[in-house]
Amino acid sequence: MDQVTLLTPAHGEADLSLGTANTLLSALTPTFVNALRLQRMIHAVSAFLCFQAYILACTTLYASKIVALNGWLATKVSASTSATWVWYAWESQTCRALRKKAFHEVATFILGGGQTVFLMVFWPGWLVLGPVAGGVWMMVG
């Protein structure tokens, strides 16, 4: 093949004539216009909904911060009030008398015959004897 044949345009007819293309375009133009209108309406509605969701989220966040602050303040006030009332109750005459009686009973029990019971319960050797007894029980068991 020579170079001239490669550079010349083809002599065949186009599949679509110019008149057919215009007819097809003029038939589809209302469809494209309606599609464009629908896209613009969807855009407007979605933009409005997104803006409303943003406003709602900001308002909800602000309201939750206010509620959390009020809850924290109420807790702080009630805790300090409770601590004050507990202190008053602890320092009352009745509670002092009960504490004095309880201390006397514990001291009498420890210094009297209860020393053996305390020694058996709180003896540090149980930390050694307990695992040894458990090991023997598992091996023999």
Pick from 131, 130, 106: nearest CA to 118: 106
- Contact between residue 89 and residue 81 where contact means Cβ atoms under 8 Å apart: no
Q: Does the residue 112 lie in any domain? A: yes
Q: Does the residue 49 lie in any domain? A: yes
pLDDT at 123: 83
The mean per-residue pLDDT over the stretch 37-63 comes to: 96
Tell me which residue range forms the domain holding 81.
31-140
Hey, CA dihedral for 69, 72, 78, 79, is it positive or negative?
Answer: negative
Indicate if the pLDDT at residue 15 is higher than 70: no
Q: Does the residue 16 lie in any domain? A: no
Q: Does the residue 5 lie in any domain? A: no
101/40 Cα distance (integer angstroms): 86
- 53: amino acid identity, one letter: A
Number of domains in the chain: 1
Q: Does the residue 20 lie in any domain? A: no
Q: Does the residue 129 lie in any domain? A: yes
Q: pTM higher than 0.75, yes or no?
A: no
pLDDT at 77: 92
pLDDT at 66: 97
The mean per-residue pLDDT over the stretch 73-101 comes to: 93
pLDDT at 97: 95
Q: Does the residue 17 lie in any domain? A: no
pLDDT at 24: 75
34/40 Cα distance (integer angstroms): 10
Q: Does the residue 8 lie in any domain? A: no
User: CA-CA distances (angstroms) from residue 26 to 15, 16, 99?
Assistant: 18, 15, 102
